[in-house]
């Protein structure tokens, strides 16, 4: 196994949280926690790796309370396994990260992985508690097991998106929701970019509430997904702004979103996640002329394929932008997150407070951001 | 406090914006948790972020503790000046700075009253979702500090799900900005850690909040039951049916008695053992069916009266009763303490039955009015503050209720916070390493502990009295906590 050109000398596969804690208590080298390894190219380059911890054997759904709409899972549970279990009770976790159903719950949390389901929030909005193992082998938890809770600091939020650099996520408690009674997807292909922008503007100013609204380019396809009471879905489909819509349901609908995921897979090798506002999405695309893009149009976020890494500092002069995908040599030169001084300073102190020797995923996050 | 400090505060703010008179300070000796009192040395009323920063820097120079305060409606003693010092009262920073209806966000100052935000953005067909029962008075800054909830959090989430960005003053007096108007986390979720940190990390001076489109249609129902068990079962059945109500509120007979005797009179059925206030919202299409499904579930659980509000006026009245319930208790009891705890919603019947038994055992009446949909209990213990025997009993009974909730897998607080009230209970749910990690994060933000000291973390002392004579300096307490934590880690 090689990540960013670094190969760990040992790979451990703990069967339990306690076993992992014991391992970390005695391990003195650089540690690399891994889930399904679908996101190993995200983040600043890994600097050292003595011991990789493969968490996929922590794969138990430890407790599922359908009537409470909560589930507690070990970090190595793949998303598809979880969704499958939830489906038996007509429930689900409304997340569809690009890295797919094989991705583990712990990995999705650690990388803050996202997909087109944006109206329902990101994983931080669904996590109600977390158990982690620290670099010295201590086990701690934050949050709890109930859907509403303000007991103690929300450290689970801090661990989410920290790329395993503060602690190793080993168990995640999630709140759930009932499956949408019905979903349907409407797809249109306006003639050009202005047409797509106008269409999205009219959606934004309408009463429609799609659970996903994606604008892909350069083909200018607009995908809207609705999930509601069947009659509310029908009403929204009837009230779509004028365009040549194709409405898909069931297997066809699933295939369309799978196709979009494939489209995401093809973006690259250099992809930037540019953070604007709903009303500036078109402006971003017009200004930077990406070769290809997928925009979460109602969230103001554009995943855009750019050709030259030198554009990144210029774009960051105007917008917040995270490197979504990039070859190693680009990530060596340019920090993944483009942090402000305030963020850099606080995150660095956070890293020092949790992992003073910098042994957890060395270089991956804030510790590799500015070189 | 030294005269020199007061003089400098007056230089920063002007004379009328600084209170040091002993009598005037009485107003600030507690927040809405009136059981504990401790007088600050001064209260200041800044207008600008820069003034807040200057005050904080001055406090640092003189090593004086300080804390922010909003409307003082907090129920866990978060704005209690445990060690005296300076209360930075943010009520004058009460402007809605901008509204971006197109991108659905607004930028507001911390002293803006929660409800005023929804009123300000109403012309655009938008609103701010989290709605604590105190929303007519509580400030958005306080909501951010406490990660406040409210009835509609069941569907729309807590404050933390609606805060996009902040400007804040650090405990050292620097002005920082975090987050972005798109609400997209970059790197670690620092903003997520700050929301709900109960004013112990930073003082928030500007807030960018998410606005939502007003739902097309709303239906509000009131279902009355002759038994608490049937009422609780209905809650579980609605959730199990896959319905996501906008709100699902429980009121018991005692609450109904108080509400109906008060100005909040809502027409609640006075012969009911318990009733549910249920709201569904969203698209008009399909809402009737959802509402009918709920009526059916209520009837199946022997609800003897299900009423659907006919118009906005009736709907508003039903909510007035619920939101005024805490205040209405004054009609039936001279004092009360508002408890806040969360349990898995399936455990409602047994926990409510146990609380009823406790009420008998202690001889203290309890009214239950709470967010049933998310299992967030609010037992209101009614007592007479002039009777010392009752005051002593409420502490013990409160503790027993908290333990009961923890035992069934619940949490110490669902929306009011730990503050001063519940810090000694933290050991019930968190281990030493859990608390140590929280302390590490606190130290990153608030290394000297001057900002809002003696909150959240247990002091491990059998001391319920407070005041300057019983508490020690922040540094000493910090040291002691450190010692205990290190001792346990060994």
DSSP letter for each residue of A235-303 = HHHHTPPSS--EEE-HHHHHHHHHHHHHHHHHS-SSEEEEE--GGGHHHHHHHH--SEEEEETTTTEEE
Largest CA distance in chain B: 70
**Which of these, A50, A41, A154, A38, lies nearest to A106 by C-alpha position?**
A38
Residue among B130, B187, B191, B445 with most chain A CBs within 10 A, to mutate: B187
Q: How far is CA A355 from the centre of its chain?
A: 24
Task: Count Cα neighbours of B285 within 13 Å in the Cβ-side half-sphere.
Answer: 14
**Which of these, B460, B418, B423, lies nearest to B145 by C-alpha position?**
B418
Contact with chain B for residue A269, Cβ under 8 A:
no
Inter-chain residue contact A125 with B283, CB threshold 8 Å: no
In this prediction, residues A179-190 reach a mean pLDDT of 96
In this prediction, residues A28-41 reach a mean pLDDT of 96
Q: What percent of chain A has pLDDT over 90?
A: 98
Q: How far is CA A310 from the centre of its chain?
A: 25
117-136 in A: which are within 8 Å (CB) of B? 121-122, 124-125, 134
pLDDT bracket for residue A238 (50, 70, 90): very high
| Nearest CB neighbour to A322, from listed B103, B186, B444 | B186
For residue B80, what are its two tokens? Answer: 């209690």
Gap between the Cα atoms of A354 and A132, Å rounded: 12
- For residue A189, the distance in angstroms to the closest alpha carbon of chain B comes to 24
| Nearest CB neighbour to B438, from listed A139, A149, A155 | A155
Residue located via tokens 């500007």 = B206
The DSSP H or E segment spanning A367 is none
**Beta-bridge mates of residue B121:** none
- Which chain A residues are Cβ-neighbours of B346 within 8 angstroms? 65, 67-68
Note whether B94 and B111 are within 8 A (CB). yes
Q: Are strands A168-175 and B305-308 parallel, antiparallel or unpaired?
A: unpaired
> What DSSP letter does each residue of A105-174 carry, written as one string?
HHHHHHHT---S--TT--GGGTEEEEEEE-TTS-EEEEE-SSSS--SS--HHHHHTTSTTSS-EEEEEEE
Largest CA distance in chain A: 64
- For residue B364, the distance in angstroms to the closest alpha carbon of chain A comes to 26
pLDDT tens digits, B440-458: 999 999 999 999 999 999 9
What is the structure's pLDDT at B483? 47
Interface A-B, measured as beta-carbon pairs within 8 A, has a size of 244
- For residue B181, the distance in angstroms to the closest alpha carbon of chain A comes to 7
What is the structure's pLDDT at B85? 98
- For residue A244, the distance in angstroms to the closest alpha carbon of chain B comes to 24
Contact with chain B for residue A160, Cβ under 8 A:
yes
Higher-pLDDT residue of B49 and B349 is: B49
Task: Count Cα neighbours of B372 within 13 Å in the Cβ-side half-sphere.
Answer: 31
**Beta-bridge mates of residue B69:** B89
Inter-chain residue contact A279 with B103, CB threshold 8 Å: yes
Inter-chain residue contact A124 with B185, CB threshold 8 Å: yes
Gap between the Cα atoms of B467 and A309, Å rounded: 60
Gap between the Cα atoms of B213 and B35, Å rounded: 40
Asked if pLDDT for residue B470 goes beyond 70, the answer is no
pLDDT tens digits, A71-129: 999 999 999 999 999 999 999 999 999 999 999 999 999 999 999 998 889 999 999 99
| Domain A1-179 listed as CATH 3.30.465.10 | yes
For chain B, counts of helices (H) and of strands (E)? 17, 20
- Which chain B residues are Cβ-neighbours of A154 within 8 angstroms? 147, 160, 192-193, 195-197
Contact with chain B for residue A239, Cβ under 8 A:
no
- Which chain A residues are Cβ-neighbours of B242 within 8 angstroms? 90-91, 178-179, 181
Inter-chain residue contact B186 with A343, CB threshold 8 Å: yes
Asked if pLDDT for residue B481 goes beyond 80, the answer is no
Q: Where are any strands of DSSP class E within B96-162? A: 96-100, 105-108, 126-127
Inter-chain residue contact A275 with B180, CB threshold 8 Å: yes
Asked if pLDDT for residue B484 goes beyond 80, the answer is no
- Which chain A residues are Cβ-neighbours of B429 within 8 angstroms? 144, 151-152
What is the structure's pLDDT at B121? 98
Inter-chain residue contact A342 with B177, CB threshold 8 Å: yes
In this prediction, residues A302-328 reach a mean pLDDT of 97
**Which of these, B132, B306, B140, lies nearest to B219 by C-alpha position?**
B306
What is the structure's pLDDT at A371? 75
Q: Write the ipTM.
A: 0.97
Domain boundaries, chain B: 1-213, 217-407, 424-489
pLDDT bracket for residue B487 (50, 70, 90): very low
Q: How far is CA A206 from the centre of its chain?
A: 28
Asked if pLDDT for residue B169 goes beyond 60, the answer is yes
pLDDT tens digits, B215-234: 999 999 999 999 999 999 99
The DSSP H or E segment spanning A207 is none
Contacts for A183 with CB less than 8 Å, ≥ 6 apart: A211, A225, A226, A227, A233, A249, A253
How many residues are there in chain B?
A: 490
pLDDT bracket for residue B485 (50, 70, 90): very low
Gap between the Cα atoms of A149 and B28, Å rounded: 28
Asked if pLDDT for residue B259 goes beyond 80, the answer is yes
What is the structure's pLDDT at B472? 34
Q: Where are any strands of DSSP class E within B109-181? A: 126-127, 163-169, 175-179
- Which chain B residues are Cβ-neighbours of A147 within 8 angstroms? 342, 345, 374-375
Inter-chain residue contact A181 with B242, CB threshold 8 Å: yes
What is the structure's pLDDT at A318? 97
Contact with chain B for residue A348, Cβ under 8 A:
no
* Fold of the B1-213 domain: 3.30.465
The DSSP H or E segment spanning A22 is helix A17-26
For residue A113, the chain B residue with the least C-alpha distance is B185
CATH architecture of B217-407: 3-Layer(aba) Sandwich (3.40)
pLDDT bracket for residue B461 (50, 70, 90): very low
**Which of these, A300, A352, A267, A194, lies nearest to B188 by C-alpha position?**
A352
- For residue A137, the distance in angstroms to the closest alpha carbon of chain B comes to 11
**Beta-bridge mates of residue B253:** none
What is the structure's pLDDT at B392? 87
Task: Count Cα neighbours of A288 within 13 Å in the Cβ-side half-sphere.
Answer: 34
Burial B427-451 (b: 16+ CB within 10 A, else e): ebbbebbbbbbbbbbbebbbeebbb
In this prediction, residues B24-31 reach a mean pLDDT of 96
DSSP state, B129? -
For residue A238, the chain B residue with the least C-alpha distance is B285
pLDDT bracket for residue B460 (50, 70, 90): low
Gap between the Cα atoms of B264 and B261, Å rounded: 8
Higher-pLDDT residue of B326 and A365 is: A365
The alpha-helical segments, DSSP class H, found in A178-244 are 193-204, 230-238
Residue located via tokens 């391990």 = A27
What is the structure's pLDDT at B479? 44
Contact with chain B for residue A162, Cβ under 8 A:
yes
Q: What percent of chain A has pLDDT over 70?
A: 100
Inter-chain residue contact B441 with A158, CB threshold 8 Å: yes
Asked if pLDDT for residue B475 goes beyond 70, the answer is no
Q: What percent of chain B has pLDDT over 90?
A: 88
Inter-chain residue contact B216 with A207, CB threshold 8 Å: yes
**Which of these, B220, B214, B217, lies nearest to B314 by C-alpha position?**
B220
Is the omega angle on the peptide bond into residue A330 within 30 degrees of 0, that is, cis?
no
For residue A64, the SS3 value is strand
- For residue A190, the distance in angstroms to the closest alpha carbon of chain B comes to 22
Inter-chain residue contact B103 with A278, CB threshold 8 Å: yes
| Nearest CB neighbour to B342, from listed A146, A162, A230 | A146
Contact with chain B for residue A25, Cβ under 8 A:
no
- Which chain B residues are Cβ-neighbours of A207 within 8 angstroms? 213, 216, 283
- Which chain B residues are Cβ-neighbours of A70 within 8 angstroms? 344
Mean pLDDT computed over every residue of chain B: 92
Q: Are strands A246-248 and A182-188 parallel, antiparallel or unpaired?
A: antiparallel
In this prediction, residues B327-347 reach a mean pLDDT of 92
In this prediction, residues A343-352 reach a mean pLDDT of 98
Inter-chain residue contact B192 with A228, CB threshold 8 Å: no
- For residue A365, the distance in angstroms to the closest alpha carbon of chain B comes to 8
In this prediction, residues A323-351 reach a mean pLDDT of 98
In this prediction, residues A196-211 reach a mean pLDDT of 96
Q: Are strands B212-213 and B217-225 parallel, antiparallel or unpaired?
A: unpaired
């Amino acid at each position: 196994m090689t990540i960013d050109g670094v190969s760990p000398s040992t790979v451990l596969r703990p069967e339990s949280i306690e076993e992992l804690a014991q391992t970390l208590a005695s391990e003195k080298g650089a540690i690399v926690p891994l889930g399904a390894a679908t996101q190993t190219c995200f983040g600043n380059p890994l600097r050292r790796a003595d011991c990789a911890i493969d968490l996929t054997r922590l794969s138990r759904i430890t407790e599922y309370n359908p009537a409470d709409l909560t589930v507690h899972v070990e970090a190595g549970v793949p998303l598809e396994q979880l969704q499958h279990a939830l489906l038996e009770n007509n429930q689900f976790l409304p997340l569809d990260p690009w890295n797919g159903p094989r991705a583990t719950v712990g990995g999705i949390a650690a990388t803050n992985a996202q997909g087109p389901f944006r109206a329902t929030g990101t994983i931080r909005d669904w996590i109600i508690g977390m158990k982690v193992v620290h670099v010295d082998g201590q086990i701690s938890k934050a949050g709890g097991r109930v859907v509403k809770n303000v007991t103690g600091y929300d450290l689970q939020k801090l661990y989410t998106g920290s790329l395993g650099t503060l602690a190793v996520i080993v168990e995640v408690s999630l709140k759930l929701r009932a499956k949408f009674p019905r979903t349907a997807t409407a797809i249109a292909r306006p003639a050009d970019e202005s047409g797509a922008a106008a269409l999205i503007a009219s959606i934004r100013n309408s009463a429609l509430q799609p659970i996903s609204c994606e604008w892909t380019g350069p083909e200018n396809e607009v995908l809207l997904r609705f999930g509601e009471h069947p009659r509310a879905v029908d009403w929204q489909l009837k009230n779509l702004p004028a365009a040549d819509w194709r409405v898909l349901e069931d297997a066809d609908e699933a295939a369309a979103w799978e196709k979009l995921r494939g489209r995401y897979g093809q973006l690259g090798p250099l992809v930037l996640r540019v953070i604007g506002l709903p009303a500036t999405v078109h402006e971003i695309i017009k200004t930077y002329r990406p070769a290809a893009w997928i925009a979460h149009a109602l969230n103001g976020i554009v995943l855009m394929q750019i050709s030259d890494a030198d554009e990144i500092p210029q774009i960051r002069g105007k917008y917040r932008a995270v490197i979504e995908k990039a070859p190693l040599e680009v990530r060596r030169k340019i920090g993944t997150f483009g942090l402000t001084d305030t963020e850099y300073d606080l995150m660095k102190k956070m890293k020092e407070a949790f992992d003073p020797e910098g042994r957890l995923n060395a270089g991956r996050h804030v510790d590799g951001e500015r070189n | 406090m030294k005269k020199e400090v007061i003089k400098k505060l007056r230089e920063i703010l002007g004379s009328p914006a600084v209170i040091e008179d002993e009598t005037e300070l009485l107003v600030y000796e507690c927040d809405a948790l009136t059981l504990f009192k401790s007088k600050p040395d001064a209260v200041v009323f800044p207008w600008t972020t820069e003034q807040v920063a200057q005050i904080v820097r001055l406090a640092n120079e003189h090593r004086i503790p300080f804390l922010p305060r909003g409307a003082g409606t907090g129920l866990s003693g978060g704005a209690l000046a445990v060690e005296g010092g300076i209360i930075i009262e943010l009520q004058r920073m009460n402007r809605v700075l901008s509204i971006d209806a197109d991108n659905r966000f607004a930028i507001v100052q911390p002293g803006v009253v929660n409800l005023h935000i929804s009123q300000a953005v109403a012309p655009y067909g938008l609103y701010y979702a989290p709605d604590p029962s105190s929303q007519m008075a509580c400030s958005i800054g306080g909501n951010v500090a406490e990660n406040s909830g409210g009835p509609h959090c069941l569907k729309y989430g807590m404050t933390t799900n609606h805060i996009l960005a902040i400007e804040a003053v650090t405990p050292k007096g620097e002005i920082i900005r975090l987050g972005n108007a798109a609400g997209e986390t970059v790197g670690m979720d620092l903003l997520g850690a700050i929301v709900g940190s109960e004013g112990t990390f930073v003082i928030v001076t500007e807030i960018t909040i998410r606005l939502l489109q007003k739902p097309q249609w709303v239906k509000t129902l009131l279902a009355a039951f002759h038994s608490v068990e049937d009422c609780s079962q209905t809650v579980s059945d609605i959730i199990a049916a896959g319905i996501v109500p906008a709100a699902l509120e429980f009121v018991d007979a005692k609450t109904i008695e108080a509400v109906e005797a008060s100005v909040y009179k809502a027409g609640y059925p006075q012969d009911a053992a318990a009733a549910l206030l249920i709201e569904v919202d969203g698209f008009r299409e399909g809402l009737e069916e959802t509402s009918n499904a709920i009526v059916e579930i209520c009837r199946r659980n022997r609800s003897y009266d299900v009423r659907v509000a006919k118009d906005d006026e009736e709907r508003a009245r039903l909510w007035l009763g619920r939101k005024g319930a805490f205040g209405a208790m004054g009609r039936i009891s001279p004092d009360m303490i508002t408890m806040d705890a969360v349990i898995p919603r399936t455990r409602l019947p047994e926990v409510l039955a146990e609380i009823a038994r406790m009420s008998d055992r202690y001889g203290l009446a309890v009214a239950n009015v709470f967010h049933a949909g998310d299992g967030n209990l609010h037992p209101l213990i009614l007592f007479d503050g002039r009777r010392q025997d009752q005051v002593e009993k409420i502490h013990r009974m409160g503790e027993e209720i908290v333990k009961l909730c923890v035992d069934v897998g619940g949490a110490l607080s669902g929306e009011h916070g730990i503050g001063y009230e519940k810090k000694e209970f933290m050991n019930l749910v968190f281990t030493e390493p859990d608390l140590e990690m929280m302390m590490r994060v606190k130290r990153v933000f608030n290394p000297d502990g001057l900002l809002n000291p003696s909150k959240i973390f247990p002091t491990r002392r059998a001391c319920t009295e407070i005041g300057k004579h019983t508490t020690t300096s922040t540094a000493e307490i910090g040291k002691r906590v450190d010692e205990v934590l290190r001792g346990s880690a060994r």
